Amino acid sequence: ALLCAAAERAPDGSPEDAPVYVIGTEVPVPGGAAEDLHELALTTPEDALATVALHRRLFADNGLAAAWERVIATVVQPGVEFDHEKVLDYRPDKAVALSRAIEGDERIVYEAHSTDYQTAPALAALVRDHFAILKVGPGVTFALREALWALDAIEAELIDAADCANLRTVTLGRMHAEPGNWQRYYHATGDDLDRQLQYSLSDRIRYYWPDAEIVAAQERLFANLRATPPSLPLVSQYLPIAYAAVRDGRATLDPIDLIVAHVSATLDAYHGACHPHD
């Protein structure tokens, strides 16, 4: 309620600028579970409704009744999560009671965290079952890393070794040199650690893209592939989703276009779940 009160003072008074709110206490650790997952406890219907009732009372007690009318969702755990290598998929049969519990409220829906790596049908089922706000992060940046590694492989096919940007090698080097963003999450050694650094679903690598050395390597990679554009067969080999976009006229062979086309496939699943009739 204190945070809401501060937010209410921030806009300039225009109704269209008034903030909307998501409430709740069941916010998981950013980047997925650090432990090995086997099963997950769902939020109980009683806890979900108690959280809404508690926040409603706190808003009222702090003179925020008008702001309460702009609360749109409450965070719950519908049974979805991921760790380094596994995804716990949404099971609608296990979430029936939780799903039905919110139906008595005409305005509030659920927000589901950690929906990364869920299948398109699972995302659609979540929205259908009132988990209508789907939080995603590493699932999108994981796709970004996939695209960048594919471009790195294409570069190795096209460019003399002495002129290659070696983005992948540079990135791993910087992650080893500055382990602060991953060392609490990854505990393997040797080659197994390098695989975690690159391929863990937690995608701690995403925190390293702004690094100056990595940015320079990425810019050199892009420059190399603009000076020597990849052939369609090479794009098909390493970035088949982007290849389809190029063939359909939705993307060019520019490296940024290829990345966007690849990442967009992940976002398309979310759009399709939230807008099934588009």
The owner of tokens 């432990």 is: 35
Residue 28 corresponds to which tokens in the numbers above? Answer: 């998981």
The reported pLDDT for the residue numbered 259 is 98
Report which of 179, 181, 174, 182 is spatially closest to residue 213, judged by C-alpha positions. Answer: 174
- For residues 46-72, average pLDDT: 96
The yes-or-no verdict on residue 142 having pLDDT over 90 is: yes
In 10 A of CB 169, how many CB atoms?
12
Is pLDDT larger for residue 248 or for residue 14? 248
Geometric angle at alpha carbon 227, from 225 and 231, rounded to 5°: 55
In 10 A of CB 28, how many CB atoms?
15
Domains in the chain (CATH in brackets) are 2-136 (3.20.20.70), 139-268 (1.10.400.20)
pLDDT in tens, 217-243: 999 999 999 999 999 999 999 999 999
The reported pLDDT for the residue numbered 29 is 61
Q: Give the chain's mean pLDDT.
A: 95
d(CA 87, CA 82): 4
- For 22, 98, 129, 135, 160, the CA distances from 132, given in Å and listed in that order, are 12, 13, 8, 10, 49
Q: Considering only the C-alpha atoms of the chain, give the largest distance between any 2 of them, rounded to a whole number of Å.
A: 68
- For residues 7-31, average pLDDT: 82
Residue 171 corresponds to which tokens in the numbers above? Answer: 């990135």
Say if strands 81-82 and 87-88 run parallel, antiparallel, or are unpaired: antiparallel
pLDDT in tens, 77-125: 999 999 999 999 999 999 999 999 999 999 999 999 999 999 999 999 9
Three-state secondary-structure class, residue 109: strand
d(CA 189, CA 125): 39
d(CA 55, CA 6): 16
